[in-house]
């Protein structure tokens, strides 16, 4: 990787026509905007911005910005991951031990530090090579158990929207369903582009996205983005009704709750500063959803450890990465343990729609292949498909 970084560094100098300190924003600004006469995209207090967003736009006009992005990504991989992880490995088996922090992330999710094992890259070839270094105990197998679209399932349960709940009960692809609802098409006429738009809208609603935010994400006009959001709420009226009730409650009480009762205070929701107030409103919409997802996986972890101590499954729970748990399992116990882990995670908190956990297994964290395991009948549902008494209606 160092050799590759040195090669890209020489290509940078060749493209710029001179050598300079690549890590100096001031020198880089001089090359880009004074020597090469590329347009200034955004200014900061210290001068012309050369961040990734700027380089992406400039890469359409010159080869240098793309080389700079490649160089930065490689250096980050080397310093943050490769060197950092090698330093953290200790003991006879070179095991890495992270610290999980339960009260750092405002959403309630666990965060990881020293080293952070929740942001090991996976989308690039080099990132996947780094993941190959993560292996289980000798002779054992890695098992990944990932909650499928847990935030959208929480939205369906909490909002009680009939169309959303029906889609999840029927095992439909929710992004295809949303695309069909918004664009008025049949599943047979679905295109990857329309599904991508629907996926952005689905997750955008969960995070309180604005028309402007969606327009930036999809590269469309604000009017078109607002139209998509309007059509979404027309097709999912239960979601719109729940959002309105949640915001009214948050303004009145100054806080919101997760489904399991955890409170997040929002004093900024009464702020005269529109930006602060808007942020608090987005948090009010998101916390009952993402916060409940965070509560559910913590509850599942507690139940899994209790079951492990009782001998219900064999192996070790290694990592929590947002909606995913990673285990190492003895091969002889894999079939029984994966079935138990899946059923306990899916039944951690009964909902009116099914919770689904996807399983993968492999010899290292990069080469994980999906496996199928049957869920117990009724997993993830209350009696007769109704919500359990613990669900409550106070959110």
Q: Report d(CA 240, CA 305) in Å as an integer.
A: 38
> For position 357, what pLDDT does the model report?
96
> For position 213, what pLDDT does the model report?
87
Q: Report d(CA 152, CA 167) in Å as an integer.
A: 11
> For position 46, what pLDDT does the model report?
82
Question: Could you read off the pLDDT tens digit of each residue along the chain, which spans 395 residues?
Answer: 899 999 999 999 999 999 999 999 899 999 999 999 999 888 888 888 999 888 998 998 999 999 999 999 899 889 888 898 888 888 888 899 999 999 898 889 999 998 899 988 888 888 888 999 999 999 999 999 999 999 999 999 999 999 999 999 999 999 999 999 988 889 888 999 999 999 999 988 888 888 888 898 888 899 999 999 999 999 999 999 999 999 999 999 999 999 999 999 999 999 999 999 999 999 999 999 999 999 999 999 999 999 999 999 999 999 999 899 999 999 999 999 999 999 999 999 989 999 999 999 999 999 999 987 554 434 444 433 333 333 333 32
> For position 394, what pLDDT does the model report?
30
> For position 307, what pLDDT does the model report?
97
Cβ-based neighbour number of residue 209 at 10 Å: 20
Q: By C-alpha distance, which of 107, 206, 155 is closest to 351?
A: 155
Query: For the stretch 68-85, what's the b/e string if a residue is b when 16 or more beta carbons lie within 10 angstroms of its beta carbon?
Result: bbebbbbbebbebbbeeb
> For position 149, what pLDDT does the model report?
93
Token look-up 């970084």 returns: 5
Query: Model pTM?
Result: 0.82
One DSSP character per residue, 341-369 reads: HHHHHHTSS-BSS---EEEEEESSSSS-E
Spell out the domains of the chain, with CATH numbers in brackets.
Answer: 2-94 (1.20.1060.10), 141-150+295-385 (3.30.70.370), 152-285 (1.10.150.20)
How much helix, strand and coil, in percent to the nearest 5, is found in the chain? 55, 10, 35
Tokens, residue 20: 């300079």
Query: Cα separations (Å) of 318 from 26, 95, 96, 115, 278?
Result: 43, 11, 10, 14, 38
> For position 134, what pLDDT does the model report?
93
> For position 384, what pLDDT does the model report?
33
> For position 381, what pLDDT does the model report?
44
Q: What's CA 242's distance to the chain center, in Å?
A: 23
Token look-up 């890495």 returns: 96
> For position 392, what pLDDT does the model report?
35
The pLDDT tens digits for 259-305 are 999 999 999 999 999 999 999 999 999 999 999 999 999 999 999 99
């Amino acid at each position: 990787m160092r050799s590759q970084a040195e090669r890209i560094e020489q290509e940078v100098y060749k493209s710029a026509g001179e050598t300079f300190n690549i890590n100096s924003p001031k020198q880089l600004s001089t090359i880009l905007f004074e020597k090469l006469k590329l347009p200034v995209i955004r200014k900061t207090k210290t001068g012309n911005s050369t961040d990734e967003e700027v380089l992406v736009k400039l890469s359409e006009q010159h080869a240098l910005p793309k080389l700079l992005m490649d160089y930065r990504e490689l250096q980050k991989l080397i310093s943050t991951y490769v060197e950092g992880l090698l330093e953290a490995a200790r003991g006879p088996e070179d095991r890495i031990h992270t610290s999980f922090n339960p009260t750092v992330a405002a959403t309630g999710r666990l965060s990881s530090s020293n080293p952070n094992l929740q942001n090991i890259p996976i989308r690039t070839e080099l990132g996947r090579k780094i993941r190959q270094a993560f292996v289980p105990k000798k002779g054992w197998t890695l098992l990944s158990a990932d909650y499928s679209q847990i935030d959208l399932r929480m939205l369906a349960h909490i909002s009680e929207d009939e169309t959303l709940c029906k889609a999840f009960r029927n095992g439909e692809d929710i992004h295809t369903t949303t695309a069909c609802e918004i664009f008025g098409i049949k599943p047979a006429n679905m295109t990857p582009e329309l599904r991508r738009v629907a996926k952005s809208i689905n997750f955008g609603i969960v995070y309180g996205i604005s028309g402007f935010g969606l327009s930036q994400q999809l590269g469309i006009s604000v009017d078109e983005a607002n139209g998509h959001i309007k059509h979404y709420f027309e097709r999912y009226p239960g979601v719109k009704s729940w959002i309105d009730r949640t915001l009214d409650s948050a303004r009145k009480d100054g806080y919101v709750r997760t489904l399991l009762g955890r409170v997040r205070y929002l004093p900024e929701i009464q702020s005269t500063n529109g930006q602060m107030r808007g942020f608090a409103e987005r948090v009010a919409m998101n916390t009952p959803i993402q916060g409940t997802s965070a509560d559910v996986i913590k509850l599942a972890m507690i139940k899994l450890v209790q079951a492990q101590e009782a001998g219900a499954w064999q192996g070790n729970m290694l990592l929590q990465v947002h909606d995913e748990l990673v285990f190492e399992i003895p091969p002889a116990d894999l079939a029984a343990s994966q079935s138990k882990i899946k059923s306990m995670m899916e039944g951690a908190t009964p909902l009116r729609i099914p919770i689904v956990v996807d399983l993968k297994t492999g010899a290292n964290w990069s080469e994980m292949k999906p496996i199928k395991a049957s869920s117990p009948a009724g997993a993830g549902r209350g009696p007769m498909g109704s919500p359990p008494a613990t669900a409550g209606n106070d959110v």
